Amino acid sequence: MDLAKLETYKENNRLEAKAAQGGLPKSIWETISAFANTEGGIIVLGAKERRDGTLEVVGLGDADKMLDDFWNAAHSPDKLSCCVMSDRDANIESVDDKELIVVEVPRADRRLRPIYVNGNPVTGTYRRDHKGDYRCASNEIQAMYRDASDEPVDTRIHENLTVDDLFAETIGSYRRSYELHHNAHAWAYLPDDEFLCRIGAAKVGSDGKVHPTSAGLLMFGEEWRIMAEFPHYFLDYRQELSTDERWQGRITSQDDSWSGNVFDFYRRVFNNMKQAINVPFKLDENSQRVDETEAHDALREAIANCLTNADYNERRGVVFLWKEDGLHFSNPGGFRVGIKDAYIGGNSDPRNETMMKMFTLINIGERAGGGIPDMVKKWTSSGYGTPVLSEQVNPERSTILLPLVKESVGNDVGNVGNDVGNANSEAVTTAERVLRLVAGNPKISAQSIAAGLGMSKRHIERVMAGLRDEGILIREGGTRGSWVIAKNR
């Protein structure tokens, strides 16, 4: 943040201003809790919001004393369950000869969450959305506690079930895939119950008998059995390429014509979504046509990532969409390592670690933390726009977008080129990519777009400003509203 331009900023889901004219504001702790439990953010003490939403610097009377008061309270467990800030995260700054305190609140590690105030997680846990700080409901708090555990959530043993309760056809399909990649491995010749134990789909329970784990039930169970253990379980895929119909194709776990489990859903969805990928004519060394590209590998990674990171205890389920702008993958639960770290890679932390292992054993997904960066690289190397990761809270969900727009300028971006006017071809391409991301997520921020496209936030803001000036992009609801793309663009 450029403090010299502070008065041009507006509050958002990552920035909060507090006048603090009567001393350290009590509400600062709620905002710290909210930022820490979401994506982090910046608090400016000594600035207030004008009527138009911009910030006005009012300054602090005794910034040194206020900073001391802040640190004394921040390290008190009665005030804050865990101080996630370090000494360098709160500083006194000067703007126009007026002193401010700027507090940078980092995203809290999942093992420290929930960060709560006043010693009570039930009433003192907050999060931040586009409307501001809000008190978390009990299901959000419970989800944070689940994620805080180092024990993978999918290792729970279901002693009320046996491996015979799993769907034999799905197990057989998985084993055939396993044998393709591990033809001579000893596991390939084991009976089902022993094989399932090796891959983590089953374990020996307290009664000395073999029972399915949550991973095994989700991957290989039938929908009605899964629902008995995970009441909110739901998988949904829709092809929405026309405005004339709600959808042109759909696969849901509630359709009793198939098993409804995660592994069969993966196979069905991949076979549908891969049709969105253009396959250029190419022959291998044996003069056989190559039917897959690196984009297919990226698609596999995106599907597996969402299925293995979904919180199956939460509502609304897994939703995959094939739309004109791209392929959308959404699951309940946030990114456990944060979006920035997910793009960087090297720190794999799947919510359902055993399920990820099971996919990895058949060469789907990546456990070494390179899954997302590898997905981005392979998708863009195939000529498509940069994949975009996004999160929302209330309810908490993660989304991956694989844009279907090509990087190069062509006929598909001609209309935008006309609207933008004198913009050069690079800007035209960027404008189209921005519009496609906005179409997929009307509440997406310039910062998220910049991160997804690998560009600076300032550049994206200039492109969006140009689109607004041309009447192509319209903002509704102010800083906490959403974007609308003009229908006649």
For CATH 3.30.950.30, list the domain ranges present in the chain: 3-148
CA distances, 348 to each of 213, 296, 322, 379, 407 (Å): 21, 21, 27, 20, 29
Residues β-bridged to residue 56:
48
pLDDT at position 423 is 34
Give the span between the Cα atoms of 125 and 127, in whole angstroms: 7
Residues β-bridged to residue 473:
485
CA distances, 86 to each of 41, 110, 340, 473 (Å): 14, 17, 20, 40
Number of CB atoms found within 10 A of residue 321's CB: 21
* Cα three-residue angle 151-156-162, rounded to 5 degrees: 155
CA distances, 93 to each of 18, 21, 300, 389 (Å): 15, 16, 48, 33
Q: Which pTM was predicted?
A: 0.79
Q: Which backbone phi and psi does 212 adopt, to 5 degrees? A: -65, 145
Number of CB atoms found within 10 A of residue 65's CB: 12
Give the span between the Cα atoms of 342 and 143, in whole angstroms: 20
Q: Which backbone phi and psi does 321 adopt, to 5 degrees? A: -130, 135
Q: Which fold does the domain 411-485 belong to in CATH?
A: Arc Repressor Mutant, subunit A (1.10.10)
Question: What tokens does 388 get?
Answer: 């975009």
pLDDT along the chain (489 residues), means of 10: 86 93 96 96 95 93 96 95 95 94 96 97 95 94 94 95 97 95 89 97 97 98 98 96 78 96 98 91 67 92 96 96 94 91 85 96 73 92 92 92 69 34 43 81 82 77 81 77 73
Among 121, 104, 108, CA closest to 147: 108
pLDDT at position 429 is 59
pLDDT at position 409 is 35
For CATH 1.10.10.10, list the domain ranges present in the chain: 411-485
What do you get for the CA distance between the two ends of the chain, in Å? 33
Residue type at 258 in one-letter notation: W
The CATH number of 155-403 is 3.30.565.60
Instruction: Using the CB atoms, write b or e for 208-222: b if 16+ within 10 Å.
Output: eebbbbbbbbbbbbb
Superfamily of domain 3-148: Schlafen, AAA domain (3.30.950.30)
Taking the CA atoms of residue 313, residue 235, residue 270 and residue 274 in that order, the dihedral angle to the nearest 10 degrees is -120
Contacts of 125 (CB under 8 A, 6+ apart): 33, 37, 114, 115, 116, 135, 136, 140, 141, 144
